[in-house]
Amino acid sequence: MPIDPNFEQNREKVDEENGVAVWGPVDPPEEQGIHGTHVAVDYDICIADGACLEDCPVDVFTWVDTPDHPTSELKVEPTHEDQCIDCMLCVDVCPVDAIDVDPGRAGRI
């Protein structure tokens, strides 16, 4: 199942890591939630293939450790989501639809 494009309405902001909003539920290591607002990554379905990180023209993403997560122990965090140019390349290359970019959420980072 792809990332919920309405996560802001359907989930609660429960934390902030590295300056990035975290939307619950979060119950590590299995549930990591959605990280980011303008550029959002669902850590629970991200398989960390790195396509988004490699293809992003403005380096929005960085690797972060997610020890013992059943899908992968690394995830891509939208650490620099404020630099996003809304090209949607990361959305297009994600093989599991774990990323959502919404230009309308840019002002709510």
pLDDT tens for 63-92 read 999 999 999 999 999 999 999 999 999 999
pTM as predicted: 0.94
Q: Residues comprising the binding site for [3Fe-4S] cluster? A: 46, 52, 94
Instruction: Decide if pLDDT at 109 tops 60.
Output: no
Mean pLDDT computed over every residue of the chain? 94
Beta partners for residue 17, in sequence order: 20
Backbone φ, ψ for residue 24 (5° rounding): -75, 180
By residue range, what is the domain housing residue 79?
7-103
Q: What angle do CA 80, 39, 97 make, to 5 degrees?
A: 130
Q: Residues comprising the binding site for [4Fe-4S] cluster? A: 56, 84, 87, 90
Q: Residues comprising the binding site? A: 35, 46, 52, 56, 84, 87, 90, 94
Bigger pLDDT: 109 vs 22: 22
Q: Is residue 76 part of a domain?
A: yes
- Tell me how many domains the chain contains: 1
pLDDT band at 105, cuts 50/70/90?
confident
- CATH of residue 81: 3.30.70.20
Task: Report pLDDT for 103.
Answer: 85
